[in-house]
Amino acid sequence: MDVPDDPRIAIDGGTRVLVVTGAGISAESGLATFRGAGGLWEGQRVEDVATPEGFATDPGLVWRFYSARRAAALAAQPNPAHLALAAVEGRLEDRFLLVTQNVDGLHRRAGSRRLIEIHGSLFRTRCSRCDLPPFADESLHESGAPGCERCAARGRRADLRPDIVWFGELLDSDHLRRVEAFAEEGPGERLVFVAVGTSGNVWPVAGFVDLAAAVGGETWLVNLEPAHNDWRFDRIVRGAAGEVLPVLLGVVG
């Protein structure tokens, strides 16, 4: 299960790389992890701020929570782990895919484009009621939920909400299909799966390692602490993503 001190993943012309990241990859950028604060997330209970029921009960609280995270993410910078993944994408092109559970936008700011933000984005807003297309939004709403103008024009009140997948909500089926397709493509090529900075608690992303294992892929976990789904991985590298990933992926050193 464990690997030598300065492991490297062999990446050549026949290698495909599928990466999943979680809150831990942004920790060195100064952003709080989901479970780092002992189950409270920025002082809030998950049920109150990351579920549709919590939003229906107190949309103003949810907007204060996400506005604080929007501000923190805007002030943060991508770290060497984000940059290493963008560099590997540049080398592998369509033999690389990055799936992030994070909504902080740091992978995109690091240059990643073959990227699926599978839990949505802090910087997109949509209507909680009508089919108003999600729109780019960096604004902060600390004194109550903004209303949907399209609904108002139709004589009804509806709150805008962050374009984020909350607990109990379905992930985009196109995203799931794209991940499955990437894991199964490239017969004869070698698939390497790397999970970075995730406790493996949240489904269905926690099960993506099994997609790779099912096609004979080599699975790696880079995490600071033991993860819930540790046992599902071939190799585990304990350490900080910003230090481990550039070496592991052969980007530096």
H/E run at residue 208? helix 208-214
- Beta carbon nearer to ligand BV8, 62 or 86: 62
Nearer to ligand BV8, 57 or 201 (CB): 201
Q: Is the omega angle on the peptide bond into residue 226 within 30 degrees of 0, that is, cis?
A: no
By beta-carbon proximity to ligand BV8, the closer residue of 28 and 159 is 28
Q: Applying CB under 6 A, does 240 fall inside the site for ligand BV8?
A: yes
Residue 188 CB, nearest distance to ligand BV8 (Å)?
32
| Window 193 to 212, contacts with ligand BV8 (CB under 6 A) | 197-199, 201-204
Please answer whether residues 241 and 26 qualify as being in contact, where contact means their C-beta atoms are separated by less than 8 angstroms.
no
Q: Which is nearer to ligand BV8, 76 or 224 (CB)?
A: 224
Tokens 């009804």 locate to: 156
Could you tell me which stretch among 140-148, 151-159, 176-184, 219-227 binds ligand BV8 (CB under 6 A)?
A: 219-227
Q: Which of 47, 169, 180, 189 binds ligand BV8 (CB under 6 A)?
A: 169
Which residue among 164, 176, 183, 191 contacts ligand BV8 (CB under 6 A)? 164
List the interface residues with ligand BV8, window 127-146 (CB under 6 A): none
CA distances from 186 to 7, 15, 17, 65, 218 (A): 25, 9, 11, 42, 15
Residue 54 binds ligand BV8, judged by CB under 6 A: no
Among candidates 102, 147, 108, 141, which has minimal Cα distance to 122? 102
Q: Which of 11, 18, 27, 191 binds ligand BV8 (CB under 6 A)?
A: 27
Beta carbons within 10 angstroms of residue 219's beta carbon: 21
Q: Which of 14, 90, 144, 168: binder of ligand BV8 (CB under 6 A)?
A: 168
107 is a catalytic site residue: no
* CA–CA dist 226, 158 (Å, integer): 42
Tell me if 162 sits within 8 A of 122, measured CB to CB: yes
Set 119, 141, 175, 228: catalytic member: 119
170 binds ligand BV8 (CB under 6 A): yes
* Of 165, 183, 194, 248, the one binding ligand BV8 by CB under 6 A: 165
Contact between 119 and ligand BV8 by CB under 6 A: the answer reads yes
Total count of residues recorded for the chain: 253
Q: Which of residues 69-88 bind ligand BV8 (CB under 6 A)?
A: none
Name all contacts of 208-214 with Cβ < 8 Å and 24+ positions apart. 208/18, 208/20, 208/99, 208/179, 208/183, 209/20, 209/233, 211/179, 211/180, 211/183, 212/18, 212/183, 214/183
CA distances in angstroms from 240 to 45, 129, 203, 223, listed in the order given: 26, 41, 23, 7
Residues labelled as active-site residues: 119
Which residue ranges make up the site for ligand BV8 (CB under 6 A)? 22-24, 27-28, 33-36, 50, 101-103, 119, 164-171, 197-199, 201-204, 223-225, 227, 240-241
